[in-house]
Amino acid sequence: MDLNYSATEEAFRQDVRSWLAANIPADLAEKVASYQELGRDDLLRWHRILAAKGWVAPAWPEEWGGTGWGAVERFIFEEECSLAGAPGLVPFGLAMCGPVLIRFASPEIKERFLPRIYNGVDFWCQGYSEPGSGSDLASLKTRAERRGDKYIVNGQKIWTTLGHYADWIFCLVRTDSESRIRQEGISFLLIDMKSPGISVRPLILLDGHHEVNEVFFDNVEVPANQLVHEEGKGWTVAKFLLGHERLNTGRVGASKRELAKLKAWAANRTHAGKPWIEHPRFADKVAELEIDLMALEITNLRFLDQLRGGKPPGAEVSMLKLRGTEIQQRLTELMMEAGGTRAERIRPLDSAQWADEAFDHFAASLGPRYANYRKTSIYAGSNEIQRNIMAKMMLGL
């Protein structure tokens, strides 16, 4: 097993780092650094910059705009983007729907949707979770009835991230209610969010942001040619998609950036007459977190070495999701601890507070970030589910 980067890979890292330093818009970098909310235009602007460079979808096949990079180069690129504080790319089109279409869709669907996803023409969201059907997706109830050359969709999706920005939604729907096996009879549909009968209701989070939504379908007509893969075989598509989603949830680069920020923050904030970082118990927590992050990075490198050899990771990828999201939460907790009473506000700053140069913007941004990051151990399959997966598939329990 080789956990070291080659000279060629290190040269690639430097090229990526230099390009990012010269091309990330300063206003977007500032928003990321200060934990401000990014709107649709912000997200699409960075997407289109990368698309123009040819770097927006490195994992796609080259015929659809992929870079031809190997797994190691893709990991380095993602890590450098995180370390540089680049805005995150919305995953629903690029990292989720796109790979599904490449793997399962008809040539007509690929030609219709993939170039638009790549170039940031369409904004996508995901329609998986429902009230009572989150980690247990096989219990979903949204119904699609085939009538001639269209489906009639009725039901509800919930926790639909950025659904209020979306042009399209990919949905798991039940097309057969008679099957004895719950995973059968589920299909994967592409649905235009402008279709009559779709309504979006915001769900305001604890931090005050409008990030997620409820989406309702009331006799929504969907052309049958927007079915991906076979009718009733959507569970196969869902498993493929979730594997892609969980592989990217470790976020080692972002956590390394936040750890450096935590150390700098704690060195400049005092408690009982000395900097927080000099208090032994707090320093112990930071050191323990750093060790765990190093272990996560090495685990990532192990998976990269497997990918070098052509072996895709299996159930063990749940380790990245589980440990990575726990580390992300612990970082926010330690930030809050060092921030003290100045970090206690949960609601985001209003425009007047952002305009006040004397206001401690960073401390005030920690509370909303802490509240928002409670979700990381739930999305992409809750951490409890990840433990069950590892116990069953890796340990045989």
Encoded tokens for 26: 């300063």
User: CA separation (Å) from 64 to 113, 155, 190?
Assistant: 11, 34, 19
Measure the CA–CA gap between 155 and 244, rounded to whole angstroms. 26
H, E, C per residue of 332-361: HHHHHHHHHHHHCCCCCCCHHHHHCCCCCH
Phi, psi of 323 (to 5 degrees): -75, -40
Q: Which two tokens stand for residue 94?
A: 């690029």
Using CB atoms within 10 A of its CB, is residue 167 exposed (0-12), middle (13-18) or buried (19+)?
A: middle
Active-site hit among 79, 211, 245, 337: 245
Single-letter code of the amino acid located at 182: R
| Pairs from 177-185 (Cβ < 8 Å, separation ≥ 24) | 177/143, 179/232, 182/138, 182/139, 183/138, 183/235, 184/232, 184/235, 185/232
Contact criterion met (CB below 8 Å) for 299 and 319: yes
Report how far residue 90's alpha carbon sits from residue 211's, in angstroms, rounded to the nearest whole number: 12
Written as six digits, the tokens of 274 are: 């000395």
The candidate with the shortest Cα–Cα distance to 336, out of 35, 12, 5, 20, is 35
Q: Which of 48, 38, 192, 189 is nearest to 118 (CA)?
A: 48
- Dist CA 277 CA 268 (whole Å): 9
Taking alpha carbons only, the member of 114, 74, 80 closest to residue 94 is 114
**Any bridge partners for residue 169, and if so which?**
125, 191
Q: How would you classify the pairing of strands 143-147 and 150-157? A: antiparallel
DSSP state of 130: B
Residues in CB range of 206: below 8 A, 6 or more apart: 346, 371, 372, 374
Is 288 one of the annotated active-site residues of the chain? Answer: no
Instruction: Give the amino acid at 100.
Output: V
β 150-157/210-223 pair status: antiparallel
Q: Are 86 and 46 in contact (CB under 8 A)?
A: yes
Catalytic amino acids? 245
